[in-house]
Amino acid sequence: MDTPVVQTNALTRTYIMGRNRVDALRGVDLCVRRGEMVSIMGASGSGKSTLMNLLGCLDRPSTGAYNLDGVEVANLSKNELAEVRSRKIGFVFQGFHLLPRTSALENVELPLLYRRDSLTTPPREAAKAALQRVGLGDRMDHDPSELSGGQQQRVAIARALVTSPALLLADEPTGNLDSRTSVEIMALFQELHAAGLTVILVTHEPEIARYTERIVELRDGLIVRDVPVEDPARATHDLKEAAHATQDPNNPTHATRDLDHPPSLVLAAGGES
């Protein structure tokens, strides 16, 4: 196939704080092909966030090489990194990070305003399309405070998509959501992945990781496991099942998608071990 989206070579990152040195990453070789959907797992302190920051061009490695979508980025300047982020990366954060008192539409538009190249579609139109894609076509003018957690994360995902990035990075995207909403968000990621998007997400929950195709596990700054997921779970399927299980007989048309807080929802845990 074509070039990998992510290709790192002996990537290290050492934090130096006075006399203390923390080797957060100690030589990471990671290759993610276009269209893959990968989970990065590992205990707290294993280096997941450090790796995400490097992959997202928010930080530079201490040593090693990193080729992102055909561009060597390990030694770029701050401004060049900003440019790479603006063109190639879409971020989704655990805490959503939406601008308060700013409509969903304006939030989604934001990354386009920092693009220095000329855009084919006007920001407003592109933002509308992205919101429609995540199923929030009818919530464009709402402020984050008027949206549920799941809806806020959808806005954040739309914001990550709006620039058509080569790589979507999500750091614990379901960490602030209940289990039902988490599955809904994973359904959305799977949908985007099916449409060809490359997705890397950090999670410490195996129930979430099993919706991806491949699990990379870090320990003490090294990759200790890199395995494909056999028969990844399908989020839409799980949602239907759950809806069926909790369906109110008096209300057979119960909508599944907007349910953020179902009274009881048991998910099949631990897909692979």
SS3 content of the chain, % helix, strand, coil (to 5): 30, 25, 45
**49: enclosing H helix or E strand:** helix 48-55
Single out the residue of 63, 102, 121, 164 in contact with other proteins (rule: CB under 8 A): 102
Q: Which of ligand ADP, Mg ion, other proteins, none does 250 bind, CB closer than 5 to 8 A by kind?
A: none
**Residues linked to residue 22 through DSSP beta bridges, in sequence order:** 15
Q: Which of ligand ADP, other proteins, Mg ion, none does 103 bind, CB closer than 5 to 8 A by kind?
A: none
> Do 144 and 64 form a contact (C-beta atoms < 8 A)?
no
Q: Does residue number 198 form part of the binding site for other proteins (CB under 8 A)?
A: no
Sequence-ordered list of residues with C-beta below 8 angstroms from that of 124, at least 6 positions apart, any chain: 105, 109
**Residues linked to residue 17 through DSSP beta bridges, in sequence order:** 20
> Do 83 and 163 form a contact (C-beta atoms < 8 A)?
no
- Binding residue count for other proteins, defined by CB under 8 A: 25
Q: Which of Mg ion, other proteins, ligand ADP, none does 71 bind, CB closer than 5 to 8 A by kind?
A: none
> Do 26 and 12 form a contact (C-beta atoms < 8 A)?
yes
Residue 22 or 267: the one with the smaller Cβ distance to other proteins is 22
> Do 44 and 239 form a contact (C-beta atoms < 8 A)?
no
Compute the least distance from the CB of residue 179 to other proteins, in Å: 25
Q: Considering only the stretches 4-12, 74-82, 180-188, 191-199, report the one whose residues sit in contact with other proteins under the rule CB under 8 A.
A: 74-82
Fill in the per-residue mask, 31 to 70: x = in contact with other proteins (CB under 8 A), - = not in contact: ----------------------x--x-xx-----------
Q: Does residue number 49 form part of the binding site for Mg ion (CB under 5 A)?
A: yes
End-to-end CA distance of the chain: 30
Single out the residue of 39, 86, 151, 198 in contact with other proteins (rule: CB under 8 A): 86
Compute the least distance from the CB of residue 37 to other proteins, in Å: 21
